[in-house]
Copies of this chain bind each other. A is one copy, B any other.
Amino acid sequence: MKDKIKLGYIGVGRRGTWVLRECFSQMKDVEVIYISDLVPERMEQAKRTVIENSGVTPKLVADYHEILADPQVDGVIVMTGWSGRPQIAMEVMRAGKYVGIEVGCADNLQECYDLVKVSEETGVPCMMLENCCYGRRELLVMNMVKQGLFGEVVHCAGAYGHYLNDVELFKDIETETPPHYRLPLYIAKNRENYPTHEFGPISKLLGINRGNRIVSLSSFASKSRSLNQYAKDHLENPKWAEVEYAQGDIVTTVMTCANGETVVLTLDTTAPRPFYSRSYTVRGTKGMSFEDAKVIYLDGMEHKIRNNEEEFYEKYDHPLYVEYRQMESRGGHGGIDWLVCRAFVESVKNETQPPIDVYDAAAWLAIGPLSEASIQQGGAPQAFPDFTNGKWENREPVVRCKYCLDEICEDKNTPIY
């Protein structure tokens, strides 16, 4: 086991900078020794942050291949824009270094196959840094499900319910160029473009790639109207109201699983909505969780209950979250960034497979291109690739350290920071 690891960091836009500042640069067992970005000013700013937080002075490189060539580097974090991440991840693995990639979806299915192939050929792990797998609610429900309180899970649903028009898509569009990297994708593509925040935790809960797998996917997009309406009502430049956006306002995706569960995902980012929600929903034969009514219900409880989650947190908070709460709050977003980054760091230190592995990454990334194909084909079900090539049937749940997401781990040794 390594006491300390050295990381390279590719991509210090808004999200990359946040995670670097709040998480990796604050960890006593991590040294960020490289930063790479296309924008020199961003690199300079990120460098100052790393020095301030850790005392380490990272080297700034315009070409990230320099990071891959340095044998000192144990792992690389890829926080670039949506497109191209899998390609960089493959290069990192070929260089023999652990890779952690920010959430998103693939441009095409081939990237997903390639990601698995490269990881299998090199034996190097790839982890998607899906922070919502470590959400307090998601961990609570996993804890309760693993204890049998929900009975047999039959159905899950989730959403990326986040009204992005002003906070991302058109943010500062009158004054800044280029626009947010998501906007060109909303113009070019119609798909479930951001499935992992809600599907990551569901996938782990259902044991996808470990005893279960997704069998088929169907997607349906509403017409695209809300971006034009927003631009018309809120932006000065008339151009944005006239653009033809490919992305439907609401995209509904339904997946079926080998073990008989159904999963419904909703992409909901452009039509007005009042609050952020992952609409995390788990339905079992004995209990349910439903984020939008903030309710947990177990069979036999009195009816008409809402807003009762707090009592369950008190009783069934996931052990990992209990420990996190005892720390000073770190990493922002209620701990999800800190915990997912720690999971990556522990895997690198222990040279083990991360709790979210390359098969998870491939399956989650594949939702984008598969949903695009289904929408184009009028909702025709797409056969979901088995990236494990049959291994899913016998792959055991991982119980290794407290960051594991397959089972509740009793590990008392893994430090939380």
Contact = CB atoms under 8 A, between A and B. Distances in A.
Contact of A381 (B151, B290, B306, B380): B380
Given A222-B155, A222-B261, A222-B262, A303 B274 contact: yes
Contacts of A250: 154-155, 262, 283
A185 interface: no
A216 interface: yes
A397 interface: no
A41 interface: no
A280 interface: no
Contacts of A274: 288, 293, 295, 297, 301, 303-306
Contact of A299 (B230, B254, B306, B381): B230
Contacts of A306: 274-275
Contacts of A295: 274
Contacts of A229: 151-152, 285-286
Contacts of A379: 216, 218, 254, 256, 381
Interface in A269-314: 271-275, 283-288, 290, 292-293, 295, 297-299, 301, 303-306
Contacts of A221: 262
Nearest to A285: B229
Contacts of A256: 220, 378-379
Nearest to A283: B271
A252 interface: yes
A311 to B, nearest CB: 13
Given A218-B379, A305-B275, A285 B226 contact: yes
Contacts of A163: 303
B285 A222 contact: no
A303 B260 CA distance: 38
A281 to B, nearest CB: 10
Contacts of A301: 274
A225 interface: yes
Interface string A340-353: 00000000000000
Given A155-B249, A222-B260, A230-B299, 11 more contacts: A154-B226, A154-B249, A155-B222, A155-B250, A218-B379, A222-B283, A225-B285, A272-B286, A274-B301, A275-B304, A380-B380
24 contacts: A151-B229, A152-B225, A163-B303, A216-B378, A218-B381, A222-B283, A223-B260, A225-B285, A230-B299, A249-B283, A250-B283, A252-B262, A254-B254, A264-B264, A271-B284, A272-B285, A272-B287, A272-B298, A273-B290, A274-B288, A275-B304, A275-B305, A292-B292, A292-B293
Which 5 pairs from chain A and chain B are nearest by CB? A223-B260, A229-B285, A274-B297, A155-B250, A272-B299
